[in-house]
Amino acid sequence: MIKPVFRVQCDGPGREWLALPDGHTPGTDIVHADLIAAPTAERAGNWPDERAAKLAAIGAGWRHPHNSKDFKDWRCPNCRNTEQP
């Protein structure tokens, strides 16, 4: 059976992926705060639906840009720290 998965990529200039930390054992629970921003999708988290992907991103500190009007853009902490208010 084929099942879709959702991945999260930063919409900022870094274009990083919401990824599992090094040393994570597949199939074990993960704390969202332990998720990292990675330059490639190699270790990107596979979320079962859009809601789970959004919750993981929020838990890892990803947010909408300060000037977002439609809330479709997501920024990793690195890109948010470089934003101009």
pLDDT of residue 39: 95
pTM across the whole model = 0.83
**Each residue of 39-81: pLDDT tens digit?**
999 999 999 999 999 999 999 999 988 777 777 788 999 887 7
Side-chain-side CA neighbours of residue 76 (13 Å)? 19
pLDDT of residue 83: 63
Q: How confident is the model at residue 19 (pLDDT cuts 50, 70, 90)?
A: very high
| Cα–Cα distance measured from residue 1 to residue 41, given in angstroms and rounded to the nearest whole number | 23
pLDDT of residue 27: 83
